[in-house]
Amino acid sequence: MILQVDHTAISVPDIDAAEAFYCGLLGFECEYRSHWSDNANTDAVIGLNHSAARSVMLKLGHYRIELFEYERPVPRPQDGMRPVCDHGITHFCLSVRDIRGEYERLLAAGVPFNSEPYDYGPVICVYGRDPFGNVFELIEKKTRGAATSV
């Protein structure tokens, strides 16, 4: 029986910059850091050979994001403007209070957004990107039981 989502994992080219963004701007806290190199069990689980990476688990409320910076094998470059219609994870969503205030705060810090927050009735939301182009959504629910994401 599946109980719940435990975390979302994101591979990034600069784990220190990613941690600064997610902790410094979005309010996550570091739960733990790790590193591996040429670990046969880890290689088997992740499906790579002779891998090496640093990772950090970040937590915000009950939600966690695990960041990876791979040293080996060398990752392919990421398209920082990959449209959300392309196959793969399109975004993750963070519930906020005062979405317009959060939008202005993050915008002032240089976070790129697709638009200003849009009011859909029961929710207000906006899409932004982390320093590497990964898309996140901010959502403010105005009523109980409102839709969870756009």
60: domain CATH number?
Answer: 3.10.180.10
- Tell whether 113 is covered by a domain: yes
Q: In what order do the strands lie in the sheet with 63-72?
A: 8-11, 63-72, 52-60, 29-37
Q: Please give the residue range of the domain that contains residue 118.
A: 78-150
pLDDT tens, position by position, 70-129: 999 999 988 888 888 887 788 999 999 999 999 999 999 999 999 999 999 999 999 999
Same domain, 83 and 68: no
> What's the pTM value of the predicted model, to 2 decimals?
0.83
**Angle CA 76–54–21, to nearest 5:** 80
Please check whether residue 99 is in contact with residue 107, taking contact to mean a CB–CB distance below 8 angstroms.
no
User: Radius of gyration (Cα) for the chain, nearest Å?
Assistant: 17
The answer to whether residue 17 scores a pLDDT higher than 90 is: yes
- Residues 27-55 have a mean pLDDT of 94
Same domain, 139 and 82: yes
Q: What percent of the chain has pLDDT over 90?
A: 79
Task: State how many domains the chain has.
Answer: 2
